[in-house]
Structure 1
Amino acid sequence: MSVPFPAATEPVGSRTEVFLRYLAYFRDGVGRRVEAMSEEEVRRSRVPSGWTPLELVRHLTFMERRWFVWGFEGEPVADPHGDEVDGRWFVPEDLTAAEVLADWRRQSAVTDAVLRRHDLDEVGRPGPRWEGAPPATLERVVLHVVQEYARHLGHLDIVAELGGGVTGEV
């Protein structure tokens, strides 16, 4: 079963719940598309820039970690850019698709917990993520992450279509 698109007229208890529902929707779309692909297909690039669906999922994992854990909460992260090598997304050969997806889901749960324990108007802790600029509010961070998911799900839709996989909003 897929997560329904968050209807604008559906009542919610808070702004945080609105963001959590959008994240759930976009994550579900990513997961369904990648899980429908073979191990070979998730490691295959169908675009000139060379990224693969599995690299995109790993990027989403690290992207959430960078914004919510390392950035907003100001916690140390061993390798905040561990999804990149020489400016390109990267997945070590010894990681399976199931392992990459499981790590992404664990990070998603961490992100959701951050959203639930902080107010959206709260300002993040200063740290290296901000490169000397004032930290953003949680709301600004989550808006950035939602747009990143929307953009990458669109990219993944095209790749999935080229590979004969799951596409669309259902």
Structure 2
Amino acid sequence: MTSFPEPTNPAGSRSEVFLRYLDYFRESAVAKVSALAEPELRQSRLPSGWTPLELLTHLRHVELRWIEWGFQGRAVAEPWGDRRDDRWYVAPDETRSDLVAALRAQGAHTTAVVSAHDLAEIGAPGPRWNDADPASLERVLFHLVQEYARHVGHLDVVAELAGGPTGE
């Protein structure tokens, strides 16, 4: 697993700092879901009802929505493909390995986009912004880091309840 991006570790740029944190949190989510027994992947241990696989696909779609659909302004066939009937959803035929591969591929795309753009660059206009002015890449990345940190914390709780790994 990627080691925690300690604030004292030198970085070449602010972009590198964002990417290190995103990589760390992404791989933390993968490690936690990968350590769970198969039956734990599709059941919920929380009143809100989400499952670990649903959380994994949600994280992938969050990056898709904010980087591709939002910042890049690309047409995305199903930006809300992680939802069905107003809740997170994973099809029965989607496997842990499929979802991990999709999340990592989305992360690789995010890395490529961040590496090719300045943090101050403003996103392309489009439907992601709900008629508001597009945000800068830096604001988008800050949002992604908080989204990952929050959800990896959620996974900590679920993993602990399931007898899996906890903590950093």
Q: TM-score range by the shorter chain?
A: over 0.9
Q: Taking every aligned residue pair, what percent have the same amino acid on both sides?
A: 58
The equivalent of 1:153 in structure 2 is 152
Pair 1:56 & 2:55 matched: yes
Deviation at 1:119, TM superposition (A): 0.5
The equivalent of 2:108 in structure 1 is 109
The equivalent of 2:127 in structure 1 is 128
Alignment of 1:11-160 (within 5 A): 11-160=10-159
Gaps of 5+ in 2: none
Aligned pair count reads 168
CA offsets, 1:81-115, max 9 Å, x none? 01001110000111111111111111111111111
Moved more, 3-12 or 119-128: 3-12
Structure 1: which amino acid aligns with 2:153? G
C-alpha distance in 2 between matches for 1:62 and 1:131? 17
Gaps of 5+ in 1: none
Aligned residues: CA RMSD: 0.7
**TM superposition score normalised by structure 2:** 0.98
Q: What stretches of structure 1 move > 2 A for 4+ residues in a row?
A: none
Deviation at 1:59, TM superposition (A): 0.3
Classify the secondary structure of the residue corresponding to 1:49. coil
**TM superposition score normalised by structure 1:** 0.97
Deviation at 1:79, TM superposition (A): 0.5
Structure 2: which amino acid aligns with 1:34? V
Structure 1: which amino acid aligns with 2:111? D
Deviation at 1:40, TM superposition (A): 1.4
C-alpha distance in 1 between matches for 2:108 and 2:10? 23
Deviation at 1:4, TM superposition (A): 1.6
C-alpha distance in 1 between matches for 2:127 and 2:42? 32
CA offsets, 1:51-95, max 9 Å, x none? 000000000011100000000000010000010011100001111
C-alpha distance in 2 between matches for 1:123 and 1:75? 14
C-alpha distance in 2 between matches for 1:40 and 1:109? 29
